[in-house]
């Protein structure tokens, strides 16, 4: 139970049905301390989240105990707000014991929580609803026209120079639209990895840290021909296909070779709304993706849509060029699968959903490989030269970079 309110401190708490104590967040005013009604902090959560150097290593910021070690009966001795510890008020909580089930659990423990930290990390709002932390900008689903309204090339020097805002603009646009373009990137082979490194570590695959897209004889990948290449994601045959793909145009004097981009999340949402039965089939039947060439045999099976992943509201996997022979769980799945896929592809082939652009030398397309499908129209290899250089960066690296940039721009 809670200790009696201290002079000048109003601290409210209650026992929830599970038996955990809850404390409201104290806020400081000139008159004293009052409970802020905005958030709820279970006491055991506060103890679990202690930021002191015995609980979080001061150098590497890593936690020094596990949640399983907490004393579920952790009691507080007192709570007060200190205004003498730094530029902002700090909630000081003195615990009745160590708060951990350890052999040396005698003694006491004191935790300090700056108010800005509490506000940023509160697990529940006043009504007890969960409160997400570090939310990224929300997806803006787009059609071709809607993307063309926000499309603006970001100059290379603004992207690379930390004193300019190009990187931040690019990252926010990636989070929202899954696609941005740079221009004025020098025509050099090394530039695509230099640009990618601004966001994260270059992701090395069997194609190499970077790879060339140009037509070559006996190509091991359809991308390395002059054929048209339909909408797809790269590396669907990996368990975790990379998030960001970069394509730097070094040469493009051919007829054709236009790039097409399409927001698969938009297409999937439209499809689900109008054809829920077909959508459900593509949620259930795994598609086999493979790369079976040059002594390499990559393989991964996944439904076209996944809506049950707690970290991502929607996952789409779509890459016809890399589809292997289907394996069905039951003969009854066969007809519905092919009917559903045919219907979904009507949405993908809708020109209104596509954004088209013929990359010019010095331009870089950067897109969320697991969201924005990409394609290329055929080109006449005898009419000139077309050479793109590509690379990948993990989506985790992108999100880390975006969170850092958001904090820097706050
Ligand atoms: Fe591709």
Instruction: Examine residue 133 and state whether it is found in any structural domain, yes or no.
Output: no
Instruction: Answer yes or no: do 321 and 271 share one domain.
Output: yes
pLDDT score of 87: 87
Instruction: Examine residue 139 and state whether it is found in any structural domain, yes or no.
Output: no
- The tokens for 110 are 């004191």
Q: Is the pLDDT of residue 88 over 60?
A: yes
**For position 236, which CATH number holds?**
3.60.130.10
Q: How confident is the model at residue 29 (pLDDT cuts 50, 70, 90)?
A: very low
- The tokens for 177 are 């639209």
Tell me the CA–centroid distance for residue 321 and ligand 1, in Å: 10
pLDDT score of 82: 81
Across residues 128-139, what is the average pLDDT?
86
Instruction: Examine residue 217 and state whether it is found in any structural domain, yes or no.
Output: yes
Given a contact cutoff of 8 angstroms between Cβ atoms, the answer to whether 395 and 244 are in contact is yes
Helix (H) or strand (E) holding 176: helix 166-177
Q: How many CB atoms are closer than 10 A to CB 276?
A: 10
Instruction: Answer yes or no: do 233 and 379 share one domain.
Output: yes
Instruction: Examine residue 240 and state whether it is found in any structural domain, yes or no.
Output: yes
Instruction: Answer yes or no: do 231 and 82 share one domain.
Output: no
Instruction: Provide the Cα torsion 375, 380, 384, 389; round to 10°.
Output: 20
Instruction: Answer yes or no: do 224 and 318 share one domain.
Output: yes
Q: Is the pLDDT of residue 162 over 80?
A: yes
Q: How confident is the model at residue 30 (pLDDT cuts 50, 70, 90)?
A: very low
Instruction: Answer yes or no: do 264 and 380 share one domain.
Output: yes
Tell me the CA–centroid distance for residue 381 and ligand 1, in Å: 19
Give percent of the chain with pLDDT exceeding 70. 90
Tell me the CA–centroid distance for residue 237 and ligand 1, in Å: 13
Instruction: Answer yes or no: do 281 and 379 share one domain.
Output: yes
Tell me the CA–centroid distance for residue 130 and ligand 1, in Å: 39
- For residue 211, the enclosing domain spans 144-409
Instruction: Examine residue 171 and state whether it is found in any structural domain, yes or no.
Output: yes
Across residues 142-146, what is the average pLDDT?
98
Instruction: Examine residue 131 and state whether it is found in any structural domain, yes or no.
Output: no
Tell me the CA–centroid distance for residue 233 and ligand 1, in Å: 6
Helix (H) or strand (E) holding 40: strand 32-42
Neighbours of ion ligand 1 (CB under 5 A): 234
Instruction: Answer yes or no: do 86 and 172 share one domain.
Output: no
pLDDT score of 11: 42
SS3 of 216, please? Answer: coil
Q: Is the pLDDT of residue 383 over 70?
A: yes
Instruction: Examine residue 359 and state whether it is found in any structural domain, yes or no.
Output: yes
Instruction: Examine residue 5 and state whether it is found in any structural domain, yes or no.
Output: no
Query: Final residue of a domain: which of 93, 125, 157?
Result: 125
Given a contact cutoff of 8 angstroms between Cβ atoms, the answer to whether 191 and 218 are in contact is no
Instruction: Answer yes or no: do 110 and 154 share one domain.
Output: no
Contacts of residues 406-409 at CB distance under 8 Å and 24 or more positions apart, as own/partner, are 406/136, 406/168, 408/168, 409/165, 409/168
Please indicate whether residue 255 or residue 335 has the higher confidence score (pLDDT): 335
Tell me the CA–centroid distance for residue 397 and ligand 1, in Å: 20
Which residues make Cβ contacts (< 8 Å) with residue 41, sequence separation at least 6? Answer: 22, 23, 24, 25, 118, 122, 123, 124
Q: Over the chain, what is the mean pLDDT?
A: 87
Tell me the CA–centroid distance for residue 388 and ligand 1, in Å: 11
Angle, CA 303 vertex, CA 302 and CA 304 arms, to 5°: 115
SS3 of 21, please? Answer: strand
Q: Is the pLDDT of residue 139 over 70?
A: yes
- DSSP 8-state code for residue 272: H
Please indicate whether residue 384 or residue 289 has the higher confidence score (pLDDT): 289
Q: What is the DSSP string of 330-398?
A: SGGGHHHHHHHHHHHHHHHT-GGGEEEE---TT-EEEEETTTEEEEE--EEGGG--EEEEEEEE-HHHH
For residue 44, which phi and psi values (nearest 5 degrees)? -65, -30
pLDDT score of 58: 94
Q: Is the pLDDT of residue 213 over 60?
A: yes
Q: Is the pLDDT of residue 27 over 80?
A: no
Across residues 1-27, what is the average pLDDT?
40
pLDDT score of 8: 36
- Measured N-to-C along each axis, helices 334-348 and 276-284 cross at an angle, to the nearest 10 degrees, of 110
Instruction: Answer yes or no: do 220 and 97 share one domain.
Output: no
Across residues 162-174, what is the average pLDDT?
96
Q: What is the DSSP string of 79-98?
A: EEEESSSSSS-EEEEEESS-
Query: Final residue of a domain: which of 60, 90, 125?
Result: 125
Query: Final residue of a domain: which of 125, 156, 186?
Result: 125
Q: What is the DSSP string of 284-327?
A: HSEEEEEEEETTEEEEEEEESEE---TT-S-EE---GGGB----
The total number of structural domains that make up the chain = 2
Instruction: Answer yes or no: do 180 and 103 share one domain.
Output: no
C-alpha closest to that of 177 among 210, 152, 206, 212: 152
Please indicate whether residue 406 or residue 125 has the higher confidence score (pLDDT): 406
Across residues 49-57, what is the average pLDDT?
94
Tell me the CA–centroid distance for residue 100 and ligand 1, in Å: 52
Instruction: Answer yes or no: do 164 and 106 share one domain.
Output: no
Q: How many CB atoms are closer than 10 A to CB 336?
A: 16
Instruction: Answer yes or no: do 160 and 283 share one domain.
Output: yes
The residue count for the chain? 410
């Amino acid at each position: 139970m809670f200790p009696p309110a201290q002079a000048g401190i109003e601290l409210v708490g209650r026992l929830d049905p599970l038996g955990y104590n809850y404390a409201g967040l104290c806020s400081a005013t000139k008159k004293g301390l009052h409970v802020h009604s905005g958030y709820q902090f279970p006491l055991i959560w506060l103890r679990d989240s202690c930021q002191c150097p015995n609980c979080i290593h001061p150098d590497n910021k890593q936690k020094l105990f596990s949640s399983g070690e907490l004393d579920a009966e952790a009691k507080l001795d007192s709570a007060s707000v200190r205004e003498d510890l730094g530029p902002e008020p700090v909630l000081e909580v003195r615990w009745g014991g160590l708060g951990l089930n350890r052999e040396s659990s005698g003694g006491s423990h004191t935790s300090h929580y700056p108010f800005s930290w509490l506000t940023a990390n509160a697990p529940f709002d006043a009504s007890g609803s969960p409160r997400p932390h570090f939310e990224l900008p929300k997806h803006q689903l787009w059609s071709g026209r809607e993307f063309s309204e926000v499309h603006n090339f970001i100059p290379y020097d603004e992207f690379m120079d930390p004193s300019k805002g190009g990187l931040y603009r690019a990252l926010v646009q990636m989070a929202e639209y899954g696609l941005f373009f740079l221009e004025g990137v020098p025509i050099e082979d090394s530039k695509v990895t230099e640009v990618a490194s601004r966001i994260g570590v270059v992701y090395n695959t069997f194609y190499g840290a970077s790879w060339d897209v140009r037509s070559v004889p006996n190509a091991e990948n359809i991308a390395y021909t002059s054929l048209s290449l339909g909408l797809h994601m790269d590396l669907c045959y990996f368990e975790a296909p990379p998030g960001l793909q970069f394509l730097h145009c070094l040469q493009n004097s051919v007829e054709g070779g236009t790039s097409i981009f399409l927001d698969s999340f938009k297409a999937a949402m439209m499809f689900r709304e109008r054809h829920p039965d077909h959508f459900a089939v593509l949620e259930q039947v795994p598609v086999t993706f493979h790369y079976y060439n040059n002594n390499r045999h990559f393989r991964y099976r996944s439904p076209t849509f996944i809506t049950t992943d707690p970290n991502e509201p929607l996952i789409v996997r779509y890459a016809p060029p890399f589809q292997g022979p289907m394996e069905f769980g039951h003969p009854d799945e066969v007809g519905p699968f092919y009917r559903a896929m045919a219907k979904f592809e009507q949405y993908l082939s809708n020109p209104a959903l596509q954004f088209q652009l013929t990359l010019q030398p010095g331009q870089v397309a950067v897109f969320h490989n697991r969201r924005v499908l990409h394609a290329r129209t055929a080109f006449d290899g005898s009419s000139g030269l077309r050479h793109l250089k590509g690379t990948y960066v993990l989506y985790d690296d992108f999100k880390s970079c975006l969170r850092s940039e958001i904090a820097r721009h706050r």
